[in-house]
């Protein structure tokens, strides 16, 4: 399967799943929880589905491991970022929160992904 066709299929499947998750998000109350059904999880599901069909489950498992590692690093960024923005302001707080993001991402890459 050509790379262009694979990207086109992933875009089509990802877009379709995004629309489905957006519909679920419209039904969820309170509105703050609707963001849980935003683009990133649905695009990941669509991409993994196409990867399983095109390349097999081992390739999808590798991608999924990277997604989980990225989510862990993003969680560290958010936890530190909320406090550092309160303490240092938006710009300094956001830049400060990059340090734990990088530390978690690098540690998980060394331990799990390498």
Token output for 22:
């957006």
Same domain, 67 and 51: no
What is the count of structural domains for the chain?
2
What angle (nearest 5°) sits at the alpha carbon of residue 70, between those of residues 38 and 86? Answer: 75
Question: Other C-beta atoms within 10 Å of 76: how many?
Answer: 19
| Digitized pLDDT (tens) for each residue of the chain, 114 residues in all | 788 888 888 888 878 887 887 787 777 776 666 666 665 677 788 888 888 988 899 989 999 999 999 999 999 999 999 999 999 999 999 999 999 999 999 999 999 988
| Whole-model pTM over 0.85 | no
| Domain span including residue 28 | 1-55
Same domain, 75 and 39: no
For residues 13 and 17, give the distance between their C-alpha atoms in angstroms, rounded to a whole number: 6
């Amino acid at each position: 399967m050509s790379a262009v066709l694979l990207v086109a299929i992933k875009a089509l499947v990802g877009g379709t799943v995004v629309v489905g998750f957006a519909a679920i998000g419209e039904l969820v109350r309170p509105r703050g929880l609707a963001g849980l059904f935003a683009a990133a999880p649905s695009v990941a599901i669509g991409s993994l589905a196409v990867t399983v069909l095109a390349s097999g489950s081992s390739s999808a498992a590798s991608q999924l491991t990277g997604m989980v590692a990225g989510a862990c690093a993003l969680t560290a960024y958010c936890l530190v970022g909320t406090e550092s923005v309160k303490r240092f302001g938006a710009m300094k707080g956001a830049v400060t929160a990059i340090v734990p993001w990088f530390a978690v991402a690098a540690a998980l890459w060394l331990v799990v992904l390498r």
